A and B are shown apart, each in its own frame.
Chain A
Amino acid sequence: MELLAFGDTGWGDELFRATLMTIAVSITAMLIGFSFAAIFTPLKLSKFKSLNLIANIYTTVIRGVPELLVIYLFFFGGSGAIMFVASMFGYNEYIEINAFVTGSFAIGIISGAYSTEVFRGAIQSIDKGQFEAAKVLGFSKLKQFYKIILPQMLRLAIPNLSNVWQITLKDTSLISVTGLVEIMRQSYIAAGSTRDPLFFYSFAAVLYLLLTFLSMKLINKLEVKYSRGY
C-alpha cells in the first residue's frame, strides 16, 4: 500500500494526476471528435455523391487503420506539417507541438469517425414525418435542426455515443507512446523505478475500470433524461 502513498514516498499523487490527465485527454478528444462529426455527418447525408465520397473516405480509412499508426503519424508528422504551413508564412523556427495537443487530435480524429457514423445512423432513423412537419410549420432550416431534429437525434445517439466514449477512453492509453503522462505512462514510469510492473499495471487496469464504470453510470442518467416522454 505504501507504493500508493501520496507525497514523495509513493506514487499515489502522481497516479491521481495521471488519471485526471486521462480524463482531460478523453474529453478533449471526444469534443474534437464531435466537431469532426459536425463537419462529416452532413457530408455523409448530402445529396452530392462527391461529398459522400469525402466523408466515406474519412470514416473508412480511420476505422480500418490501427489507432497506433494514426498516433505515430501525428507524433512524427505533426510538427513537420505545422512547420511546413508556418514556413509558407515566413516563419522558419523549429516548432514543437505539445504531446497533449498531438494526442488529443489523433484520438479526436479517430473518435470523430465513430461519432460521424453514430450521428448519421441517428438522423437516418428519425421518422421522415418529423422533417416534413418541421418544414410545414414554417421553421427556418436552422430552427428545424435545433428544435426538432437535434433533440430526437440525441436521444437515439446517446447509447451508441457511450460506446464511442468507451473506445475513446481506452484509446487514450495509446498516447503513452508519445510520452504524455497519463495513466499508462505514469504506471510505466512507476513500474520501471520500483520494479513492480505487476502491481502498477494491475492498478492501472483498476483505474480504467473505475473510469468506465463511473462514466457508464453518468451516461445512463443522461439517457434517462433524454428519453423523457418515450
Chain B
Amino acid sequence: MIDSIPKLLNAAIVTLKLLSVSLIVGLFIGLLFAILRLNKNIFINKFAYGYSYVFRGTPLLVQIFIIYFGLGQIESLRSSFLWVILKEPYWCAIIAFALNTGAYTSEILRSAFQTIKPGIIEAGQSLGISNKIIFYKIQIPIAIRQSLPAYGNEIILMMKGTSLASTVTLMDLTGVAKYIISTTFKPIEVFIVAGGIYLFMTFIIHNVIKYLEKKYSFN
C-alpha cells in the first residue's frame, strides 16, 4: 500500500494536467457557444443547441473513442497536419474532454446570461455605454459570478471524467491504479489511496470555488 503512493501521486499530476488544459480550452468553447445560443439567428441558435445536446446526451467514453479510434480512419485527416495532434492519445483525450466540458459550460453560462436582469443592461444603455462594453464589462462579470457554483460542480465532474483517459492508454491516476490493482491484486488498498487522492483534489476545488463565491458575492 505504502509503495503505491509515490506512483499514484505522480499519476495524479497527469490527471491535473489533463484537467487544467481541458478546462481552459473548454471554457473558451463554452463561452463561444453560450454567446451563439443567445444569437437571434435561428440556424446559429439551433447549431449551438445541437452541439450541447449531442455532447450532453452521449457518454464521454463514446466521444473519446470516436476521436481516438474513429478519426484516424479518415484518409484525408491522416495526411493533413492535424494528424500530428490526433495520433497522440493525450491530445485526443484533451479534445474530447474540452468539447464535453464546453457543452456543459455553454449551458451553465447561457442560463447565467439569461438570469441577468434586463434593468442592469438598460441602466448601462441609459448611461450611454456601448453594447460591446456592456457585454464585456457588465454581462460577462455578472454571468461568471452567477455560474460559479454550477461551474464548480462541472470542474469536479470533469476531474472524474479525466479518469476515462486511461481507456486510451494514458497513465493517469485511474490508469495507474488499475495497473497496480491488476498486478498486485490488492483492489481495496489501491482504491483507498487513489480514491483518497481524488477526494483530496475534490476538496481543494470545492473550497477554492467557495472562496471565490464569497469574494465575488454581491452583498
Partners in one complex: yes
Q: Tally A residues with Cβ within 8 Å of B.
A: 37
Q: Are A72 and B61 in contact (CB under 8 A)?
A: no
Query: B187 an interface residue at 8 Å Cβ cutoff?
Result: yes
Check A198/B71 contact, CB under 8 A, given A65-B198, A69-B191: yes
Assembly CA distance A191 to B120 (angstroms): 54
Query: B185 an interface residue at 8 Å Cβ cutoff?
Result: yes
Return A74 CB to nearest CB of chain B, in Å.
8
Hey, which chain B residues are within 8 Å of A202, CB to CB? 66, 70
Q: Are A76 and B73 in contact (CB under 8 A)?
A: no
Q: Are A65 and B195 in contact (CB under 8 A)?
A: yes
Q: Nearest CB to that of B69 among chain A residues?
A: A197
Q: Are A80 and B66 in contact (CB under 8 A)?
A: no
Interface 9-mer from A30-38, A93-101, A206-214:
A206-214
Assembly CA distance A67 to B159 (angstroms): 11
Assembly CA distance A205 to B53 (angstroms): 12
Q: Are A201 and B163 in contact (CB under 8 A)?
A: no
Contact with A along B189-201 (1 / 0, CB 8 A): 0010011001100
Assembly CA distance A30 to B53 (angstroms): 23
Q: Are B69 and A191 in contact (CB under 8 A)?
A: yes
Residue from A60, A69, A176, A204 within 8 A of B177 (CB atoms): A69
Q: Are A173 and B62 in contact (CB under 8 A)?
A: yes
Q: Are A205 and B198 in contact (CB under 8 A)?
A: no
Enumerate chain A interface residues (CB-CB to B < 8 A): 60-61, 63-69, 72-73, 76-77, 80, 166, 170-171, 173-174, 176-177, 184, 187-188, 191, 195-198, 201-202, 204-205, 208-209, 212-213
With A73-B187, A212-B58 given, name 13 new contacts (CB 8 A).
Answer: A64-B202, A65-B160, A65-B198, A68-B174, A69-B163, A72-B181, A72-B191, A76-B187, A184-B59, A201-B66, A202-B70, A205-B66, A209-B58
The 6 tightest CB contacts between A and B, nearest first, are: A77-B187, A66-B163, A198-B70, A173-B59, A64-B202, A197-B69
